[in-house]
Amino acid sequence: MRLSRLFSQTLREAPAEAETSGYQLLLRAGYIRPLGAGIFSYLPLARRAMNKIESIMREEMDAIGAQEMTMPIVQPAEIWKEMEHRVPVGWEIGRFKDKADRDMALAMMYEAVATDLARREIRSYRQLPQVVYHIQTKWRDDLRPRAGLIGAREFTSLDSYSFDADQAGLDRHYEAHYRAYFRIFERCGLPVIAVAADAGAMGGTMGHEYMYLTPIGEDTVLLCDACGYKASRQVARFRKSAAAATEPPLPMQKVATPGATTIEALAAFLNISRSKTAKAVFMAAEPVGPLPAGAQPIRLGAREFFVFAVVRGDMEVNETKLAHAVKAKSIRPATVDEIRAIGAEPGYGSPVGVHGAYVVVDDIIPDSPNLVAGANEAGYHLLNVTYGRDYRAALVCDIAAAREGDACPECGAALRASRGVEVGNLFKLGMRYSEAMSATFLDKEGKARPLLMGWYGISVGRLLACIAEEHHDAYGLKWPAVVAPYHVHLVSLRSADGSAEQIAAQVYDALWAAGIETLWDDRDERPGVKFNDADLIGLPARVTVSERALKAGGVEVKRRGAHESRLVAVDPDLPAIVREVVWGASP
């Protein structure tokens, strides 16, 4: 490809809204262009890079026996309605009506379609196991897209689905994908770690996220450098200390605490540690299925129920853990009116004496007697509130959020928090989708049983964006050769007799003939402009044909980012030498 014919052009400055280095460089180098918030056009350079990423994905998926297919982006809404009480589908889904006034949806995910295909195609255990995948477009109507392709609303994703007759088969496919996905990231030049993950809307029994650790990430992971424990903040556990567990319960006492509406203000007013207080969190939850036993609708005819969560005052509620504990598909803060309707008071709430609330306490609370909790009356708190004597909960479980410095649940060492970008996921879906959609097979005894499913995904555009974040310098992008849109940036500089242009054409043809993909900057531009654009576009190697180099006996070959170039004769050995510069040893 000649640069003079390339569809895109480079920019001297990135748009002001481009907040990360990789996003800025992808824009400036002419790889992508925004059309709207979170919506992008992938220009020829990006498309070539993405084609290579997708080829790596196909090779690794084929290697584990997966079969490629394609599922439709536009889906009838009925297929999701089959699972609406089992699998939460949020506002991110794109909805519209077709000309026959039928409800339709843009694919946010493909689990329902894959399950529908499986129930149509799989009849017997003899057809199992099966693994299918596709690389297809998704749409998620995120209100706050950010960081370019990392937060795109429309994106392309590798989605793989496994179908098994038993848990052992699902475990094998999960492990095969776990390793294959690591190989994909490694081949693409992106360092990642796998952390325990929240299944979220996917459901299931087990999940991992592949995290690219970077300060620009919106996700938080908790890491233990001592034993290797790794988990996303949504599911991270930590070792809790119950120093007061041996205290005998003291009589409950009501005290005036004017203006102490926060844990910090309360602890300062009473001159106590925050760990001696109980924090109340009021939420309204919509269940995935029926209301939990003991829960009451938040108001007449409502699907939501009131959740009263309690953690120790030195901790925070982890809403993800809380939602899973109460089996909610959505959870939100309760309103002031809803709080008062159960007999509680905002800023002064506790479970003591409330009614109509589904009470959930963190598992450290039963071992923490004599806490200060709200009196459910403005300006007053209760001293020495003790779980079991003064109130009880519907659930006692871990609902506290892990933070940096907390003790590792495995070895007790201090946890370290790091920011990261989620670039891939694995989930054991189990029977959640197959039961909801009656996707069954006949076992050896002729009995119908639900399929066991797994889902495994990687966003292609997000992966491209993270490679750009990882591989760049102050001058531009620095693509790994395996995903670079071209291998070589050929620069020809004007010569008085036109010999440089002629030699450049010969070099261009020779490199392509040797299988070395070459982008030739044949424009009538100053050398500085050409060299700057070469660094900005970021191909692995640059070959410069100039009158000066030709007089010295060859052309200049330089790896992107290297300080010195190498003079190489224009002879049959040139492509082999260039290949070594591009790939190092062998590709």
Q: What is the pLDDT of residues 12-35, one digit of tens each?
A: 988 877 889 999 999 999 999 999
Element (H, E) at 286: strand 278-287
Domain of 386: which CATH number?
Answer: 3.90.960.10
* CA-based nearest residue to 426, from 458, 455, 463: 455
Domain count, the chain: 3
234 lies in some domain: no
Q: Are residues 391 and 490 in the same domain?
A: no
Q: Are residues 53 and 173 in the same domain?
A: yes
pLDDT at 587: 41
pLDDT at 202: 53
Element (H, E) at 196: strand 193-196
221 lies in some domain: no
416 lies in some domain: no
Domain boundary among 379, 397, 415: 397
Q: Which percentage of the chain shows pLDDT scores above 70?
A: 96
- DSSP for 143-161 reads SS--TGGGG-SEEEEEEEE
Q: Are residues 459 and 322 in the same domain?
A: no
Q: Residue 99 burial (CB < 10 Å; 0-12/13-18/19+)?
A: exposed
Domain boundary among 345, 378, 397: 397
Q: Are residues 461 and 522 in the same domain?
A: no
Domain of 441: which CATH number?
Answer: 3.30.930.10
pLDDT at 239: 95
pLDDT at 206: 80
4 lies in some domain: no
User: In b/e form, how buried is each residue of 310-320, taking b as 16+ CB within 10 angstroms?
Assistant: bbbbbbbbbbb
Torsional sign, CA 535, 541, 546, 551:
positive
Q: Are residues 435 and 503 in the same domain?
A: no
Measure CA 43 to chain center: 24
Q: Which residues of the chain have pLDDT under 50?
A: 201, 586-587
Q: Are residues 438 and 492 in the same domain?
A: no
**Number of helices followed by number of strands (H, E) in the chain:** 14, 31
Q: Residue 276 burial (CB < 10 Å; 0-12/13-18/19+)?
A: buried
Residue 298: how many CA atoms within 13 Å on its side-chain side?
Answer: 23
pLDDT at 18: 83
Q: Are residues 325 and 448 in the same domain?
A: no
497 lies in some domain: yes
Domain of 558: which CATH number?
Answer: 3.40.50.800
Span 62-108, pLDDT tens digits: 999 999 999 999 999 888 877 765 555 555 678 889 999 999 989 98
Q: Which domain holds residue 515?
A: 486-583
Q: Are residues 326 and 439 in the same domain?
A: no
pLDDT at 200: 58
